[in-house]
């Protein structure tokens, strides 16, 4: 028992002195058990280790974030470059589309003009005589007809492109030449002179159908549109 008491009494204690700078001030002394000192240093070590660990974690996260930012920046740079290339290609395509559109518009315009010219070429709007003539409007079998009085030697011309669809009559009763213009129009020429064309011939506005002979100076001229006779002078006035 005496030995245990001696061991308890012999426990080590540490003293901490606080010495002021001024010489007149008292020196303060604190006694601390060895266990407290050890616990203090252990706490310091643990806190230091924890701080270092936390700093390490933060450093890792910062590095990871920096890597992510760098990767995103690279992606942004690549996307920016791709976008610039796409914009360049888009500008090139827009230029080609504009050229193509203009070309198509020109082609369409040319085709419209060609079709309009063809329609004009095949519409009997011309004058049926190559020369001067007087005329009068009459009715033949309830259908309008224009009778021209021309001089001997004047040529009778087709008034538009087409095909001679029929030639009827004879020298005594007179000949009737009918031209099919393939667009619903037919032109009809009545004269006693000998025809200068045959059935199936292709004609233009320069094609001579008759040459007016002496005593046969009258030319009867009619136009059929969609199986109905119309006034020839009206067509010539509107379209000729």
- Summarised one tens digit per residue, pLDDT across range 39-68 is 877 888 888 888 888 888 988 888 888 899
Sign of the Cα torsion 117, 191, 178, 145 reads positive
Q: What is the pTM of this model?
A: 0.59
Asked whether residue 1 carries a pLDDT value surpassing 60, the answer given is: no
Within 8 A by CB and 6+ apart from 178, the residues are 164, 165, 166, 167, 168, 186, 187, 188, 189
User: Residue 238: its pLDDT value, please?
Assistant: 46
What percent of the chain stands above pLDDT 70? 84
Q: How many residues does the chain have?
A: 240
Strand 174-180 and strand 143-149: the pairing is unpaired
Beta-carbon-side half-sphere exposure of residue 86 (alpha carbons within 13 Å): 6
Asked whether residue 188 carries a pLDDT value surpassing 70, the answer given is: yes
Tell me the pLDDT of the chain averaged across its residues: 87
Residues 159 and 203 sit within 8 Å (Cβ to Cβ) = no
Within 8 A by CB and 6+ apart from 120, the residues are 239
Question: Which of 99-103, 177-181, 195-199, 200-204 is the least confident region?
Answer: 99-103
Asked whether residue 193 carries a pLDDT value surpassing 50, the answer given is: yes
């Amino acid at each position: 028992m005496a030995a245990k008491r001696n061991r308890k009494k012999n426990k080590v204690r540490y003293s901490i002195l606080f010495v002021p700078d001024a010489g007149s001030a008292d020196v303060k002394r604190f006694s601390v058990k060895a266990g407290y000192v050890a616990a203090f240093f252990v706490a310091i070590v643990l806190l230091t280790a924890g701080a270092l660990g936390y700093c390490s974690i933060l450093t890792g996260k910062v590095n990871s974030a920096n890597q992510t930012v760098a990767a995103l920046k690279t992606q942004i740079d690549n996307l920016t470059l791709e976008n610039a290339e796409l914009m360049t290609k888009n500008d090139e395509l827009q230029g080609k589309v504009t050229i193509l559109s203009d070309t198509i518009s020109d082609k369409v315009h040319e085709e419209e003009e060609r079709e309009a010219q063809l329609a004009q070429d095949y519409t009997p709007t011309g004058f049926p005589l190559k020369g001067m003539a007087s005329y009068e409007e009459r009715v033949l079998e309830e259908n309008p007809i224009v009778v021209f009085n021309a001089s001997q030697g004047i040529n009778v011309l087709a008034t538009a492109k087409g095909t001679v669809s029929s030639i009827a009559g004879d020298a005594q009763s007179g000949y009737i030449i009918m031209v099919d213009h393939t667009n619903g129009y037919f032109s009809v020429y009545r004269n006693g002179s000998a025809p200068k064309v045959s059935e199936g011939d292709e004609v233009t506005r320069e094609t001579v159908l008759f040459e007016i002979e002496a005593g046969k100076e009258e030319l009867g001229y009619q136009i059929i549109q969609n199986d109905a006779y119309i006034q020839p002078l009206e067509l010539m006035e509107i379209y000729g």
